[in-house]
Amino acid sequence: MPEKTLKQLADHTGGRIVGDAGVIIHSASTLAGAGTGQITFLNNKRYLPLVKTTKASAIIVGKEFESSAPLLIAEDPYYAFQQIVVLLHGQRKHKDVGISKLASIAETAKLGDNCNVGDFVTISDNAAIGSNCRFYPGVFIGPDAEIGDDCILYANVVIYDKTIIGNRVIIHSNASVGQDGYGFATHDGVHHKIPQIGRAVLEDDVEIGSGCAIERGTLDDTVIGRGCKLGDMVGIGHGTTLGPHCLLVPQVGIAGSAVVGHHCMLGGQVGIVGHIKIGNMVKIAAQAGVINDVPDGATILGSPAIDADLGRRAYGSIQYLPELRKRIRKLEKRLDDYDKSGP
Amino acid sequence: MPEKTLKQLADHTGGRIVGDAGVIIHSASTLAGAGTGQITFLNNKRYLPLVKTTKASAIIVGKEFESSAPLLIAEDPYYAFQQIVVLLHGQRKHKDVGISKLASIAETAKLGDNCNVGDFVTISDNAAIGSNCRFYPGVFIGPDAEIGDDCILYANVVIYDKTIIGNRVIIHSNASVGQDGYGFATHDGVHHKIPQIGRAVLEDDVEIGSGCAIERGTLDDTVIGRGCKLGDMVGIGHGTTLGPHCLLVPQVGIAGSAVVGHHCMLGGQVGIVGHIKIGNMVKIAAQAGVINDVPDGATILGSPAIDADLGRRAYGSIQYLPELRKRIRKLEKRLDDYDKSGP
Amino acid sequence: MPEKTLKQLADHTGGRIVGDAGVIIHSASTLAGAGTGQITFLNNKRYLPLVKTTKASAIIVGKEFESSAPLLIAEDPYYAFQQIVVLLHGQRKHKDVGISKLASIAETAKLGDNCNVGDFVTISDNAAIGSNCRFYPGVFIGPDAEIGDDCILYANVVIYDKTIIGNRVIIHSNASVGQDGYGFATHDGVHHKIPQIGRAVLEDDVEIGSGCAIERGTLDDTVIGRGCKLGDMVGIGHGTTLGPHCLLVPQVGIAGSAVVGHHCMLGGQVGIVGHIKIGNMVKIAAQAGVINDVPDGATILGSPAIDADLGRRAYGSIQYLPELRKRIRKLEKRLDDYDKSGP
């Protein structure tokens, strides 16, 4: 890892330093775990007490912060931290393995320049892969799939036939993209499989977590908009579209034919029913159950999901229900007594 | 794709046509996406306005519907649509690959006629596979597993030892069947693993989604009844049995030793505790948490789950709790004032 | 399977027999399913009626139980049952396959004595594997990963680079350990990937279910404490630590930087937000949503989660909300009438 002065890091991120600009930084760590030569960051007031006790050589903080320790004051501390971690540590380095002799690549498949294809990878007929892609062992690419440039597919990822994947897409281990949507027509008590002839489309700069399952469309495509980031074990139903730059943390599930706008943030285990429309910039708290359309910019929570300001008080009031029932009974008793005897 | 007249499609499905029976149909699409030569369907009143604007050459609808556009009127429009999509597009076509030289098949394993075994598939000792099965790359079949005829296992599916799978079963990528049930005996604070000696049994015509995890039984078998369809990332606990023709959409979880009847429908992210009995034809809404036995034919929702009619009003009333608390306080105040001064 | 007398089984577990100590037992089964020569157990009062009708040759029960049938009375019946199932059936037997010629093992990787490495396994550069490990087909071990002795990794498990795994760890099929944490810094509406330079650490005697996803840390490690048992499809966020001997049943999700104490029990589909502290010996009921710190020894339920005693009554009271609203309206009407006309 390269050694940098705090000054160099501040110049790299456009931040201001309070304290010793010459202190040497070689790596990044947490407030609690950092030691000499390490930089850390403060992005959550919960950890403010650790600023006084940290052994770090520097802390990245927001403008509202003043201290006698050397500080790197940034417009956007978390983004500055991201840039510095990339500078000091870089993203994952991958070994260049070329095209493994233990991979199985169809003659009709096309690979761009400089791809790395690991052991036991299967690339099926007519698949078209761009340049600089990296497939870890056990990846399966179905027939007629199209994958852009600079993609990374980790071990045992499965891409079904005809799936379309853009550039710079990252897919983590054991995820599935383009499997059949959940589509059955029930007749006389038997469920008949509807061919799923739509595709799954991942636009540029999407990242998909481990164990995700992105269904192909029944007729229309399932689309994950550019820059969306999906955590582990997220499920997306057939024909659902996510606008650009949404954040879906682990275990979110969205049923089919839903339309989600851009820059939405969905907390863990959120569920969204099918055939509804979620606006742009919508925030949905963890475990919420969304059953109706949601307007642009809304913040919602709870199952069923409602406006967050009301919802915090409403769901937080469930704990008072036993007491409220008692108080209502008592009011009724008092009024009954009035009825009998007057006040 | 074959070209058909609307008349031919109506004959194929036993439907009646309103409008031009000679219009040529070559493929299927959505109301919004269809163009000339395409057929679509209406199964949800939400999309009724699109009937007026669709560019489709024909629409499949129920009997209650009349229009000047050519219509294919069916008893069961969604089933008619399924039949037509199958006729026009067919189910997925698979390339015949025979038995890949890159597969690893134990000498003691038996394969029926006409199986296709992809690259990097492992079939273990004494596994018995029927005819016309198709295993995509990376599939693992454990020792002593039995698989019927006409099954499709997509890439990287894992079947544990002694698992029993019927005919015409489809299992999607990265699903696991027959892994150890979650069984530990805790003694002095340490959890001791209980051998899971039951099996996982999938009956005929079951379909299992990507990333599912179907535990084997501790003692008795885990059974997925014939014709059940499980969405992605569904988890079934050890010793649980599903009756025939249940629909479990993605991310459902059922704990161990539960008994579920036939033709039940479980919404997304539903959770069912272990050791309870769900009747036949039960419908459970998304995210419900079921902790008690459920009688035949019930429709339930919420966590904890209650009758749906009551539940819709009850869970929908949580939003009024802050206001109700205020009104109760006000009532108490008014009565206190009466106590002090009379009405 | 070995045949044992009930006396031998009682001696093996330190239990007392009521009835015929000489009865021969050859295998284990359920109360409902057992027949002659089989032993079963009673651990849940729900099944008490089956004790009268079981065809089993013996039943393991707690001390509170007396019967005229032969009984094996144990201090801890479930633990005695576990010991007996192990004695009669043993844990899974694995075929010794040695190092498969179809595996791909880097020259710089180290393997201890007596390892079994299945077909299509990849072991990457500088990975260090202990003795007596068993990797099923399709397993991927990333560069610089360290794995202790006596570990079992089932088919298609993926271990990312630098992951640390202790001794006697079991990981079921299609699970992922050490994939990138969900870490992005959002700047001008674009999400920038933060290198995840921490590791995932599984301590000794951990068991991980099928399809689990254990993120590596951003800076600090993600740690699963010794003896923890995770069910299928459990997700653990980056930098979260579980103390020793926790039980997490299927589909639990814990966000990043949470701290969970020892011997906690988390029910199915529980969600825990990031950056909070769960004490020791905490019990959390299925589907609970935990958003605040939880003290040692607490039992909680609901979403949001509250004390279980209160919570059972509170969440159980939601069903009365429509009726309570009516009663409040009626009280208001009665008081309004008083206001108008006096009692």
pLDDT in tens, C285-304: 999 999 999 999 999 999 99
Q: What ipTM is given for this predicted complex?
A: 0.91
Q: What 3-state DSSP class applies to B159?
A: strand
Longest dimension (CA), chain C: 96
Q: How many CB atoms lie within 10 A of CB B326?
A: 10
User: C101: Cβ–Cβ under 8 A, 6 or more apart, which residues?
Assistant: none
B positions 28-57 inside 8 Å of A (CB): 28-30, 32-33, 40, 44, 46
Record: contact B195-C319, CB cut-off 8 A: no
Phi, psi of C163 (to 5 degrees): -65, 145
Beta bridge partners of A277: A259
CATH among 3.40.190.290, 3.30.1380.10, 2.160.10.10, 2.60.40.10 for B157-304: 2.160.10.10
CB C126 within 8 A of CB C107: no
pLDDT grade, residue C269 (50/70/90)? very high
User: What is the per-residue burial (b if ≥16 Cβ within 10 Å, else e) of C136-160?
Assistant: bbbbbbbbbbbbbbbbbbbbbbbbb
Q: Answer whether B4-89 and B157-304 agree in fold.
A: no
Beta bridge partners of A190: A187
pLDDT value at residue C188: 94
For residue A138, the chain B residue with the least C-alpha distance is B138
Q: What's the gap in Å between the CA of B311 and the closest CA on chain C? A: 7
pLDDT grade, residue C42 (50/70/90)? confident
pLDDT value at residue A42: 87
pLDDT at C68 > cutoff 70? no
- How far is Cα C58 from Cα C9, in angstroms, rounded to an integer? 11
Catalytic sites of A, residue numbers: 238
Q: What's the gap in Å between the CA of C151 and the closest CA on chain A? A: 20
pLDDT value at residue C155: 98
pLDDT value at residue B2: 80
Q: What 3-state DSSP class applies to C24?
A: strand
User: C154: Cβ–Cβ under 8 A, 6 or more apart, which residues?
Assistant: B158, B160, B179, C136, C139, C170, C171, C172, C173, C210
Tell me which chain B residues have a C-beta less than 8 angstroms from the C-beta of C120.
104, 120, 122, 138
Any A CB within 8 A of B155 CB: yes
Sheet holding B110-111, edge to edge: B110-111, B128-129, B146-147, B164-165, B200-202, B222-224, B241-242, B259-260, B277-278
pLDDT at B164 > cutoff 60? yes
Give pLDDT tens digits for C76-125.
Answer: 888 988 998 999 999 999 999 999 999 999 999 999 999 999 999 999 99
Region A153-164 average pLDDT? 98
Q: How many CB atoms lie within 10 A of CB A337?
A: 12
Q: Report the candidate in C250, C242, C324 with the shortest Cα–Cα distance to residue C287.
A: C250
Q: Domain A4-89 is in which class? A: alpha beta
pLDDT value at residue B69: 63
Q: What's the gap in Å between the CA of A258 and the closest CA on chain C? A: 22
Q: What 3-state DSSP class applies to C223?
A: strand
Model-level pTM? 0.92
Give pLDDT tens digits for B294-336.
Answer: 999 999 999 999 999 999 999 999 999 999 999 999 999 999 9
CA B15 to chain centre: 28
Q: How far is CA B198 from CA B114, B127, B217, C326, in A?
A: 31, 17, 4, 52
Beta bridge partners of A241: A223, A259
Q: Report the candidate in C129, C82, C78, C88 with the shortest Cα–Cα distance to residue C108.
A: C129
Average confidence score pLDDT of chain C:
94
For residue C324, the chain A residue with the least C-alpha distance is A325
Average confidence score pLDDT of chain A:
94
Q: Report the candidate in B328, B309, B308, B330 with the shortest Cα–Cα distance to residue B320.
A: B328
What is the token pair recorded at B273? 């505790």
pLDDT at A327 > cutoff 60? yes
Q: Which chains touch B (3 or more CB pairs under 8 A)?
A: A, C
Record: contact A269-C273, CB cut-off 8 A: no
**Dihedral-angle region of residue C275 (phi above 0 means left; psi in -120 to 50 means alpha; beta otherwise):** left
Q: To probe the interface with A, which of B13, B38, B92, B337 has the most A CB atoms within 10 Å? A: B92
Give pLDDT tens digits for C170-207.
Answer: 999 999 999 999 999 999 999 999 999 999 999 999 99
- How far is Cα B218 from Cα B238, in angstroms, rounded to an integer? 6
A positions 160-199 inside 8 Å of B (CB): 160-161, 174-176, 179-180, 182, 184-187, 189-195, 197
Q: In the 8-state DSSP scheme, what is residue C196?
A: -
Domain boundaries, chain A: 4-89, 157-304
**Dihedral-angle region of residue A44 (phi above 0 means left; psi in -120 to 50 means alpha; beta otherwise):** beta
Q: In the 8-state DSSP scheme, what is residue C192?
A: E
Record: contact C81-B125, CB cut-off 8 A: no
Give pLDDT tens digits for B205-221.
Answer: 999 999 999 999 999 99
pLDDT grade, residue B16 (50/70/90)? confident
Per residue, the 3-state secondary structure of chain A, as one string, reads CCCEEHHHHHHHHCCEEECCCCCEECEECCCCCCCCCEEEECCCHHHHHHHHHCCCCEEEECCCCCCCCCEEECCCHHHHHHHHHHHHHCCCCCCCCCECCCCEECCCCEECCCCEECCCCEECCCCEECCCCEECCCCEECCCCEECCCCEECCCCEECCCCEECCCCEECCCCEEEECCCCEEEECCEEEECCCCCCEEECCCCEECCCCEEECCCCCCEEECCCCEECCCCEECCCCEECCCCEECCCCEECCCCEECCCCEECCCCEECCCCEECCCCEECCCCEECCCECCCCEEECCCCEEHHHHHHHHHCHHHHHHHHHHHHHHHHHHHHHHHHCC
Q: Report the candidate in A252, A276, A279, A254 with the shortest Cα–Cα distance to residue A264.
A: A279
- How far is Cα B124 from Cα B136, in angstroms, rounded to an integer? 16
pLDDT value at residue B48: 82
What radius of gyration, in Å, describes the C-alpha atoms of chain B? 26
Q: How far is CA B289 from CA B224, B255, B266, C334, in A?
A: 21, 11, 11, 38
pLDDT at B40 > cutoff 60? yes
Q: How many CA atoms lie within 13 A of C46 on its CB side?
A: 10
pLDDT at C45 > cutoff 90? no
What is the token pair recorded at A289? 């159950």
**Partner residue opposite C122 with nearest CB, options A78, A119, A322:** A119
The alpha-helical segments, DSSP class H, found in B48-128 are 48-53, 77-89
Longest dimension (CA), chain A: 96
Region A73-100 average pLDDT? 90
Number of B/C CB contacts below 8 angstroms equals: 206
- How far is Cα B114 from Cα B176, in angstroms, rounded to an integer? 25
Catalytic sites of B, residue numbers: 238
- How far is Cα B283 from Cα B300, in angstroms, rounded to an integer? 6
**Dihedral-angle region of residue C110 (phi above 0 means left; psi in -120 to 50 means alpha; beta otherwise):** beta
Q: Report the candidate in C304, C307, C311 with the shortest Cα–Cα distance to residue C295.
A: C307
Number of A/C CB contacts below 8 angstroms equals: 208
User: What is the per-residue burial (b if ≥16 Cβ within 10 Å, else e) of B19-38?
Assistant: bebebebebbbbbebbeebb
- How far is Cα B186 from Cα B188, in angstroms, rounded to an integer? 7
- How far is Cα C164 from Cα C226, in angstroms, rounded to an integer? 13
